[in-house]
């Protein structure tokens, strides 16, 4: 996942929390001090994490947690580089990193600490975020996938009764909307040369029934569904259905364009829903529909990408017990339900709790179908290199420099050559 | 440049052309900055309206209030800390660098011996790409507990500023007439005495130039700061601003306001020390 | 021009009777003591990391694994880098950036200096304005231009379409055909004033008698520039060119903030590539080798310029 940063107003309570954290430091001498690394983005805002942590410290007077926030783009580099100094006890990690972290002995194996009774209560898709083989390297915290957001008013004007359930329908509806001049570019996506692009591609791969690697671990995305996924993406650009600026957009740009009423369809993470319903942030309040991203004829029924994140304990941590306590607290059901507006809980039972569903029934309904379909990005230790290769190949095809087939063949060759 | 006295019409024409070109130059320089300023006081609605509104309906100063307010509940807390960090790092690194650069520059200028090669070696370190040093430096800082510390960052900046200042000061010292030094030496001053009482005061414009350039360089540095600081207690302005803009946050006005505030100190310093900046450079540059 | 002579000449004047370059033992000791602090900084804070990086470049070090000694791989990292199309492409891009940026900066800088050397109302103010881009932090410059280039709300699109120079809004940084040009524009805007200031200071030191003689000879402006002005300011200009070239080869922050190397790698310069290998892929060894190749390229450049400088400084 690569959640965009929140608008600045959402970290307004920061200095208050900061003051609180600082005052905590002064009395920390006799206590256990943890340092934790989070990201400064939207799923849980910085203020949310500070509030959760303050509550945790209140409940556990012996433990003080120092918090650091970096943008998503710097999270992994910071985590890795800090290992030299034995930096953090608790780190937030993206679903694509545990393979690498585990291989390099960077995260503690917490299989023994996981409460076996909890395992069936949490979505399997969430568990895959922190699992490698049958070992656990943390607890899932943010459960997320991309959804299809649509502008209900625009669809109504276009005479479209229901949002698309397949990619073919999406194409047809987008064409109608473009023809009727309701939106110059009906679809907007985050296809900048960044992880966001690979997340979108993964979603399309899952729709068209493709796979990244075959059973032997060799690249397979350049054939079948993987190829059709990119061909579809390129087609929407060529027809002028996807906003051409998508090729320099990240998620926040997608939100801005969609919230400005300039697009009929957008693919984005859960967090966008609440913000499209905020008058200060959006011109389309009350006109936003959210459904699982479409499947494809002959492919999947719905499509989704696993964009979850987990919390782990670093190998260098001197206070693994306190760290585990902290992680367990943040991922616990009551805390997750309290902050369910921007990030849905990992707990199955939460989805029938009114505290979670109220005001976001549509999201919860879409999640019901999407969470089961979350498709993983390639689980390999050199994920970062695979992603970099893919990002470039996808962009070259989207920019019309090479055909989708040539781009993916080239990428497959490079991925196969990785050591 | 002189105009031939016998061509008043041509002279007037040239005068008009010169003024027009000067106006063009001023426009080229000012337009982007003025747009940054206007954007920082335009409401989001004005900034995102199509067609573009070049002038805000009513100026919106709320971002500056937010950035510059220490009151709890404003993003100013983090921003002002970054401002403070940048000041500490830039001034600390500059002071330290000048301290080591002054005697070295004097030595290179007045007592070169056969050490010209050494001067070029020192100068060459300034041009080294930081990527070539960053990994070991990271490990050293980590071991010394100087990560996420303004002092650690200031020390690292000395690796950039000291060679640069040495070079600039050396060229400035070269321009100080030797005869003055000679008579001072005859009067019994030591080399250190000559440096402190004669050469340095005479090379003051050059010294201020070196100091200003050093401050600007340190204020500007991004790569090391990005990797060596992550906490609000050490993060410098460039990193804080890049953070602001990283996820392409929607509030362009706030990003612009942060940019304006970060640009003000160096621009003010530049204006105030303009004379020294120009004359110091010219003295230094004649010799190259 | 008030030539002050080379250090060698003046030194010879001071140490009359001795061969130039030799000092008394006492003076030599003072010279070394004065150099010591800078040498400590240079050898300690630059030399050690430099050697350490050199060592890493011969190993398969990973950023993750600090504890064990990394396996020695000899020159294979260098071989890999030199054969890598990504490295070659990044070198080409960096060269383009350096040549175009520095070239335009020199051109615009000299033109601006010639203009500012004329008499006109508000000249002092115009000269002072040069400080603005120069003092503007690079990161601020980057976000400023990114905002100006914004595909939806950018001032550039608005201006060009309102003047009917552009039929419709377009993406500037999302198009591989224009992204690098846009970066260069941003860099040139910020840095041509440095060249202008240096060139102007050189112009002010020019000997007026030369121009008066040229006037009497009836030389045109073009001839005067190439015969008198250009040779006169060139030695000084070289200094600015060295500075700018050094900075341009290292370019990181501008690209990092504006495009992060995209679209489709079209702005991925060498520094970004090294950063990607070292911190993105955690391949410290390969990253170190890449870094050393950048050092080598830079070293060739600076050697070239230093030679040039010394030749021009000689009488």
Per-residue pLDDT reduced to its tens digit, A271-295: 899 889 988 888 999 999 999 999 9
Domain ranges of chain A: 32-144+307-371, 147-305+380-417
The DSSP output letter for C73 is -
Decide if A16 touches B, using CB distance below 8 A. Answer: yes
What is the reported pTM?
A: 0.87
Q: What is the pLDDT of residue C265?
A: 94
Angle at A50 between CA A49 and CA A51, to 5 degrees: 90
Residue A2 has pLDDT above 80, yes or no: no
Q: What is the DSSP string of B167-216?
A: HHHHHHHHTS-HHHHHHHHHTT--HHHIIIIIIHHHTHHHHHHHHHHHHH
Residue C13 has pLDDT above 50, yes or no: no
Find out whether A407 and A396 touch, Cβ atoms under 8 Å: yes
The DSSP output letter for C226 is I
Nearest residue in chain A measured CA to CA from B226: A74
Cis peptide bond upstream of C121, omega within 30? no
Domain A32-144+307-371, what architecture? Answer: 3-Layer(aba) Sandwich (3.40)
Highest-pLDDT range among A67-71, B74-78, B157-161, B192-196: B157-161
Q: What is the DSSP string of C250-310?
A: T--HHHHHHTTT-STTTT--HHHHHHIIIIIS--HHHHHHHHHHHHHHHHHHHHHHHHHHH
Residues of chain B with CATH 1.10.3720.10: 69-277
Tokens for C70, please give them: 């990394």
Count how many pairs of residues, chain B against chain C, have C-beta atoms within 8 Å. Answer: 325
Q: What is the pLDDT of residue B164?
A: 86
Residue A125: pLDDT band (50, 70, 90) is confident
Residue C64 has pLDDT above 70, yes or no: no
Q: If DSSP codes are grouped into helix, strand and coil, which group holds residue A190?
A: coil
Average pLDDT over residues C224-228: 87
Residues in chain C with CB shorter than 8 Å from the CB of B15 are 120
Per-residue pLDDT reduced to its tens digit, A157-184: 999 999 999 999 999 999 999 999 999 9
Cis peptide bond upstream of B51, omega within 30? yes
Q: If DSSP codes are grouped into helix, strand and coil, which group holds residue A246?
A: helix
Residue A77 has pLDDT above 90, yes or no: no
The DSSP output letter for B57 is S
Per-residue pLDDT reduced to its tens digit, C264-298: 999 999 999 998 988 888 888 899 999 999 888 88
Average pLDDT over chain C reads 85
Residues in chain C with CB shorter than 8 Å from the CB of A249 are 174
Residue C93 has pLDDT above 90, yes or no: yes
Q: Which of C64, C151, C280 sits opposite A388 (nearest CB)?
A: C280
Average pLDDT over residues A111-132: 92
Residue C82 has pLDDT above 70, yes or no: yes
Find out whether A195 and A188 touch, Cβ atoms under 8 Å: no
Q: What is the pLDDT of residue A84?
A: 59
Q: If DSSP codes are grouped into helix, strand and coil, which group holds residue B237?
A: helix
- CB-neighbour burial class of residue A182 (10 A; exposed 0-12, middle 13-18, buried 19+): middle
Q: What is the pLDDT of residue B71?
A: 61
Residue C65: pLDDT band (50, 70, 90) is low
Residues in chain A with CB shorter than 8 Å from the CB of B72 are 13, 15-16, 19
- Verify whether the Cβ–Cβ distance A245 to C63 is below 8 Å: no
Q: Is the dihedral of CA C174, C82, B224, B122 positive or negative?
A: negative
- Verify whether the Cβ–Cβ distance B231 to A68 is below 8 Å: yes
Per-residue pLDDT reduced to its tens digit, A214-252: 999 899 999 999 999 999 999 999 999 999 999 999 888
Angle at A43 between CA A37 and CA A47, to 5 degrees: 65
Average pLDDT over residues C171-199: 94
Q: What is the DSSP string of B244-258?
A: HHHTT-S-HHHHHHH
| End-to-end CA, chain C | 13
Tokens for C74, please give them: 């000899």
Q: What is the pLDDT of residue A266?
A: 97
Cα A227 from Cα A246, distance rounded (Å): 20
The DSSP output letter for A357 is H
Q: How far off is chain A from C116, nearest CA to CA, in Å?
A: 40
Q: How far off is chain B from A7, nearest CA to CA, in Å?
A: 6
- Over pLDDT 90: what percentage of chain A? 64
Per-residue pLDDT reduced to its tens digit, B140-170: 887 788 888 899 999 999 988 998 899 888 8
The C-alpha torsion from B228 through B232 and B233 to B237, rounded to 10°, is 70
| Polymer length in residues for chain A | 419
- Verify whether the Cβ–Cβ distance B249 to A5 is below 8 Å: yes
Burial letters for B178-198: b for 16+ Cβ neighbours within 10 Å, e otherwise? beebeebeeeebebeebbeeb
Q: How far off is chain B from A283, nearest CA to CA, in Å?
A: 11
Residues in chain B with CB shorter than 8 Å from the CB of A183 are none
Residues in chain C with CB shorter than 8 Å from the CB of B183 are none
Query: Closest by alpha carbon to C271, among C93, C144, C33, C52?
Result: C93
- Verify whether the Cβ–Cβ distance B285 to C50 is below 8 Å: no
CB atoms within 10 A of CB A21: 18
CATH superfamily of B69-277: MetI-like (1.10.3720.10)
Residue B260 has pLDDT above 80, yes or no: yes
Average pLDDT over residues C4-32: 59
> Which of C83, C167, C264, C283 to probe by mutation at the A interface, max A CB count within 10 Å?
C264
Tokens for B95, please give them: 């002071």
Per-residue pLDDT reduced to its tens digit, B193-238: 888 888 888 888 788 888 888 998 899 999 999 888 877 778 899 9
Q: What is the pLDDT of residue A368?
A: 86
| Polymer length in residues for chain B | 288
Tokens for B137, please give them: 């430096």
Cα C103 from Cα A31, distance rounded (Å): 60
Q: What is the pLDDT of residue B286?
A: 41
Average pLDDT over residues B240-251: 70
Average pLDDT over residues A251-261: 91
Residue with tokens 């500059």: B94
The C-alpha torsion from C154 through C158 and C161 to C162, rounded to 10°, is -170
Residue C204: pLDDT band (50, 70, 90) is confident
Of A6-10, A388-392, B101-105, least confident by mean pLDDT is A6-10
Residues in chain A with CB shorter than 8 Å from the CB of C173 are 248
Residue with tokens 């990240």: A250
A147-305+380-417 in CATH: which number?
Answer: 3.40.190.10
Counting as contact any 3 or more CB pairs under 8 A, the partners of C are A, B
Residue with tokens 């040239």: B14
Residue C261 has pLDDT above 60, yes or no: yes
Q: What is the pLDDT of residue C4?
A: 40
Q: Report CA-CA distances (Å) from A167 to A174, A205, B49, C61, C92.
A: 10, 12, 32, 45, 40
Nearest residue in chain B measured CA to CA from A3: B247
Of B53-57, B219-223, C90-94, least confident by mean pLDDT is B53-57
The C-alpha torsion from A324 through A330 and A336 to A340, rounded to 10°, is -140
Q: What is the pLDDT of residue A355?
A: 84
Residue C7 has pLDDT above 70, yes or no: no
Q: What is the pLDDT of residue A4?
A: 47
- Verify whether the Cβ–Cβ distance B125 to C42 is below 8 Å: yes
B173 vs B74: which has the higher pLDDT: B173
For residue A6, how far is the Cα from the chain centroid?
Answer: 14
* Half-sphere exposure (Cβ direction) of C293: Cα atoms closer than 13 Å: 24
**Interstrand relation of A90-94 and A32-39 (parallel, antiparallel or unpaired):** parallel
B280 vs A291: which has the higher pLDDT: A291
Nearest residue in chain B measured CA to CA from A249: B248
Q: What is the pLDDT of residue B276?
A: 63
Residue with tokens 């966001």: A196
Q: What is the DSSP string of A56-124?
A: HHHH-TTEEEEEEEE-HHHHHHHHHHGGGGT--SEEEEETTSHHHHHHTT-B---TTTS-GGGGGGB-H
Residue C21: pLDDT band (50, 70, 90) is low
- Verify whether the Cβ–Cβ distance A15 to B143 is below 8 Å: no
Find out whether A244 and A400 touch, Cβ atoms under 8 Å: no
Residue C66: pLDDT band (50, 70, 90) is low
Q: What is the pLDDT of residue C29?
A: 86
């Amino acid at each position: 996942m690569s959640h965009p940063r929140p608008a600045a107003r959402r970290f307004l309570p920061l200095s208050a929390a900061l003051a609180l954290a600082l005052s905590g430091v002064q009395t920390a001498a006799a206590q256990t001090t943890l340092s934790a690394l989070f990201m400064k983005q939207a799923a849980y805002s910085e203020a949310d994490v500070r509030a959760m942590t303050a509550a945790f410290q209140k409940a556990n007077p012996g433990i003080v947690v120092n918090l650091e926030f970096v943008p998503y783009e710097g999270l992994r580099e910071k985590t890795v580089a800090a290992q030299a100094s034995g930096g953090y006890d608790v780190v937030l990690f993206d679903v694509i990193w545990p393979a690498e972290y585990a291989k390099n002995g960077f995260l503690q194996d917490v299989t023994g600490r996981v409460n076996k009774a909890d395992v069936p209560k949490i979505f399997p898709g969430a568990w895959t975020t922190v699992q490698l083989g049958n070992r656990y390297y943390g607890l899932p915290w943010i459960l997320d996938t991309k959804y299809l957001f649509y502008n209900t008013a625009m669809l109504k004007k276009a005479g479209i009764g229901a949002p698309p359930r397949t990619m073919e329908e999406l194409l047809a509806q987008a064409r109608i909307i473009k023809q009727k001049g309701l939106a110059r570019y009906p679809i907007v996506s985050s296809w900048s040369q960044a992880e966001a692009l690979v997340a979108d591609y993964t979603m399309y791969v899952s729709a068209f029934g493709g796979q990244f690697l075959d059973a032997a671990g060799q690249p397979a995305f350049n054939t079948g569904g993987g190829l059709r996924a990119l061909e579809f993406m390129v087609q929407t650009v060529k027809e002028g259905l996807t906003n051409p600026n998508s090729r320099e957009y990240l998620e926040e740009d997608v939100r801005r364009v969609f919230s400005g009423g300039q697009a009929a369809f957008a693919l984005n993470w859960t967090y966008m829903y609440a913000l499209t319903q905020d008058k200060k942030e959006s011109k389309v309040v009350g006109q936003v529909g959210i459904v699982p991203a479409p499947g494809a004829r002959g492919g999947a029924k719905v499509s989704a990408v696993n964009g979850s994140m987990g919390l782990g304990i670093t190998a260098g941590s001197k206070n693994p017990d306190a760290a585990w306590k902290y992680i367990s607290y943040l991922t616990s059901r009551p805390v997750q339900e309290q902050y369910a507006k921007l990030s849905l809980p990992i707990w199955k039972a939460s989805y029938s709790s009114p505290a979670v569903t109220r005001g976001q029934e549509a999201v919860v309904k879409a999640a019901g179908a999407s969470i089961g379909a979350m498709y993983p990005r390639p689980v390999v230790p050199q994920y970062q290199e695979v992603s970099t290769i893919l990002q470039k190949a996808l962009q070259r095809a989207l920019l019309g420099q090479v055909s989708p087939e040539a781009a993916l063949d080239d990428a497959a060759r490079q991925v196969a050559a990785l050591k | 440049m002189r105009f031939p006295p016998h061509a008043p019409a041509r002279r007037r024409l040239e005068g008009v052309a010169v003024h027009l070109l000067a106006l063009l130059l001023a426009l080229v320089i000012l337009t982007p900055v003025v747009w940054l300023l206007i954007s920082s006081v335009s409401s989001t609605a004005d900034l995102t309206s199509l067609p573009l509104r070049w002038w805000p309906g009513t100026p919106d100063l709320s971002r500056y209030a937010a950035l510059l307010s220490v009151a709890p509940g404003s993003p100013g807390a983090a921003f002002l800390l970054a401002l403070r960090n940048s000041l500490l790092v830039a001034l600390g690194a500059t002071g330290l660098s000048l301290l080591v650069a002054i005697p070295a520059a004097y030595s290179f200028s007045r007592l070169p011996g056969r050490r010209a090669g050494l001067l070029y070696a020192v100068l060459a370190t300034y041009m080294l790409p930081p990527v070539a040093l960053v990994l070991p430096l990271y490990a050293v800082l980590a071991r010394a507990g100087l990560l996420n510390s303004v002092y650690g960052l200031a020390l690292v900046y000395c690796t950039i500023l000291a060679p640069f200042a040495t070079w600039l000061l050396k060229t400035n010292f070269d321009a100080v007439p030797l005869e003055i030094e000679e008579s001072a030496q005859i009067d019994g001053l030591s080399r250190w005495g000559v440096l402190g009482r004669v050469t340095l005061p005479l090379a003051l414009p050059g010294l201020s130039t070196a100091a200003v350039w050093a401050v600007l360089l340190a204020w500007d540095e991004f790569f090391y700061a990005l990797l060596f600081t992550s906490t609000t207690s050490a993060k410098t302005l460039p990193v804080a601003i890049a953070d602001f803009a990283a996820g392409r946050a929607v509030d362009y006005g706030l990003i612009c306001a942060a940019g304006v505030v970060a640009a003000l100190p160096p621009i003010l310093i530049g204006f105030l020390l303009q004379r020294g900046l120009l004359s110091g450079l010219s003295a230094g540059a004649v010799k190259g | 021009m008030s030539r002050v002579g080379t250090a060698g000449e003046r030194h010879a004047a001071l140490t009359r009777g001795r061969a130039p370059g030799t000092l008394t033992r006492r003076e030599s000791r003072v010279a070394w003591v004065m150099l010591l602090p800078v040498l400590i900084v240079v050898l300690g804070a630059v030399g050690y990391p430099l050697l350490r990086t050199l060592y890493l470049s011969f190993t398969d070090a990973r950023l993750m694994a600090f504890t064990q000694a990394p396996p020695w791989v000899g020159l294979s990292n260098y071989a890999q880098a030199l054969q890598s199309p990504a490295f070659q492409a990044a070198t080409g891009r960096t060269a383009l950036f350096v040549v175009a940026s520095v070239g335009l900066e020199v051109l615009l800088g000299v033109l601006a200096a010639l203009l500012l050397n004329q008499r006109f109302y508000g000249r002092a103010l115009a000269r002072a304005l040069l400080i603005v881009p120069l003092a503007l932090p690079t990161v601020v410059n980057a976000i400023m231009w990114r905002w100006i280039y914004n595909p939806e709300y950018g001032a550039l699109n608005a201006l060009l379409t309102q003047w009917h120079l552009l039929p419709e809004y377009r993406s500037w940084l999302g198009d591989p055909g224009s992204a690098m040009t846009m970066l260069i524009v941003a860099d040139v805007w910020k840095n041509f004033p440095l060249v202008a200031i240096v060139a102007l200071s050189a112009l002010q030191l020019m000997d007026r008698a030369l121009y008066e003689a040229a006037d009497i000879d009836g030389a045109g402006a073009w001839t005067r520039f190439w015969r008198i002005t250009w040779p006169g300011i060139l030695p000084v200009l070289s200094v600015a060119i060295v500075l700018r070239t050094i900075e341009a080869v290292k370019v990181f922050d501008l690209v990092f903030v504006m495009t992060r190397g995209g679209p489709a790698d079209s702005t991925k310069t060498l520094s970004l590539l090294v950063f990607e290998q070292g911190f993105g892929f955690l391949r410290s060894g390969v990253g170190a080798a890449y870094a050393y190749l950048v050092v080598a390229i830079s070293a060739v450049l600076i050697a070239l310029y230093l030679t040039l400088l010394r030749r021009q400084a000689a009488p």
